[in-house]
Amino acid sequence: MKYLTSLAGLLLLCVSLSISAASKPQLELASGSALAVDLNTNEVLFSSNPDQVLPIASVSKLMTGLVVLDAKLPLDEYLTVDVSQAAIMKNVVSRVRLGSQLKRRELLALALMSSENRAATTLAHHYPGGYKAFIAAMNTKAKALGMNSSHFVEPTGLSTSNVSSANDLLLLLREARKHPLLGELSSASNRSVTFRKPKYSLAFYNTNRLVNKKNWDIELTKTGYTDEAGHCLVMLTRMAKRDVAFVVLDAFGKFTHLADANRLKVWLETGKVSPVPKEAKEYKRQRQQARASAN
């Protein structure tokens, strides 16, 4: 009798667990590709098209930062703002004046935090061997990290030929985590810098609004946007008491990539699911359909 009672209890528990698992809401994100991984356990917390190769826009600047730090160049050296070797920069508007000077550390901060294109391009121009050597170093670094779906042709991400995948960008985030300066510079909410020759000062702000939110603990971040790439975001952050690497690519709308980050955080911490707007769903469907047709 005791055996039958125990067996019945076990069966009831199994049924209850099955119902609970089945009733747990499934997370949906608006971005075309997404990946979230626990950095300590390597558990994949969420995944959607993680191997899809896409333009990554200014997320490219995270690789730019890695290459600069790998070269161990003096961070307090003043560099002359120069974009002469980058044809893609010809008509790019910037508050940073060509020919003025700023320390390498400050240029790196502006490239990472505020996604300043002239800053990123100047860093490449002042690399040992010059601009072309810098681009070669970006691809060499990608290969060394096992980022086999990634390719770079310039340091800013303005080119659609700068491509990667969410899985590759996870590798990039893991490597970037070894350089605390990248996290420090990229996650600052704002920065004021003073140029010389001529002397002038400018204030810059982080392109990721989440760094200003008290409920977010962000270790490192980089955003990106072009029409072709959509809105992109990579982060090292804390969610549900976990150290998480988070990647979203090709998001619709100015704030969709940030909304996806919030959706994931809420889901991990509470189990609740926030709906994806129908406009974002339609954008995602059309983009996926267009890429399928192109292939």
- Kindly list the catalytic residues: 58, 61, 115
Q: Is 222 annotated as a binding residue?
A: yes
Q: At what angle do helices 60-70 and 104-113 cross, to 10 degrees?
A: 160
Closest of 275, 280, 272, 277 to residue 251, by C-alpha: 280
| SS3 letters across 38-90 | ECCCCCEEEEECCCCCEECHHHHHHHHHHHHHHCCCCCCCEEECCCCCCHHHC
Using alpha carbons only, give the angle 39, 40, 45 rounded to the nearest 5 degrees: 55
Binding site listing for substrate? 222
- Per the annotation, where are the binding residues? 222
